[in-house]
Amino acid sequence: MNYHNVSFEAAYGLKQQIPVSRLPEVAFSGRSNVGKSSLINRLLGRKALARVSSEPGKTATINFYNLDNQLHIVDLPGYGYAKVGLSDKQRWAGLIEGYLKDERRNLGLVVQLVDIRRPPSDQDMQMISFLQQMEIPYVIVLTKADKLNQRERRERLASIAAELPDGGEETVIIPFSALSGEGVDELREIMEQLVQFAADHPEMLTGQDPEDPPEEENPESEEVKVEYIGFDE
């Protein structure tokens, strides 16, 4: 893929606003301040494509980026910022969970970000358990790897798997640094494999026949039901 050919496509604040997938999607999930915007910018070779919020927890939309018209990078709202009101947390939970449960999505992978310097938070664990229960493929990316010295890094890598649900068995774990670029090649390789798989198996992609009229949804009639992700805690 041409990583220079990338652009912001759209932002959605409600699940029912998001159109049916037309490309494979890789979604990025994590707590506020975990370094998600910095990771996306480094991954896509841009300095400010994904904007770093001046106020943690401020981003309240799902943002779509078009990578070479072959893949959608999907930036989910950061969670876990205590100063956000309960109503906002519930709406974000409904938005994130609604996206992840949407059968119209060509969601091939969730990249779950965890700060390498500390154990996964309760909300990180809830998200990972949710992905497991929904059988959504995911990888764990440990951000801010450059913040630790070699001894600290070895200790965290030795303990991180045991901290994950089910002991992290068979979970792909990738240390990442937006500063040094560590982990970029591994993530790009995974994304390119996903794109190639989608090209080889077009029958697995969702999407409506272009001759069919789009389905209409009534935003007022859709109930937001949060089952797994405890953003209201």
In this structure, the dihedral spanned by the alpha carbons of residues 133, 113, 125 and 66, taken in order and rounded to 10 degrees, is -30
pLDDT at 210: 38
pLDDT for the residue 52: 57
| Structural domain span for residue 64 | 6-202
Listing DSSP states for 154-167 in one string gives HHHHHHHHHHSGGG
Quote the longest CA-to-CA distance of the chain: 60
Q: Is residue 226 part of a domain?
A: no
Give how many domains the chain has, as a whole number.
1
In which residue ranges of the chain is pLDDT below 70? 51-59, 81-92, 207-233
Task: Report yes or no on 207 lying in a domain.
Answer: no
Q: Which residues are CB-neighbours of 196 under 8 A, at least 6 positions away? A: none
pLDDT of residue 84: 55
Predicted confidence (pLDDT) per residue in 107-125, tens digit? 999 999 999 999 999 999 9
Q: What angle do CA 152, 180, 76 make, to 5 degrees?
A: 90
CATH number at residue 164: 3.40.50.300
Q: Are 20 and 89 in contact (CB under 8 A)?
A: no
- Classify residue 213: in a domain, yes or no: no
The model's pLDDT over 72-107, given as tens digits with 9 standing for 90+, comes to 999 998 887 655 566 666 666 788 899 999 999 999
Element (H, E) at 27: strand 25-29
Query: Is 190 a member of any domain?
Result: yes
212 found inside a domain? no
Residue 229 inside a domain? The answer is no
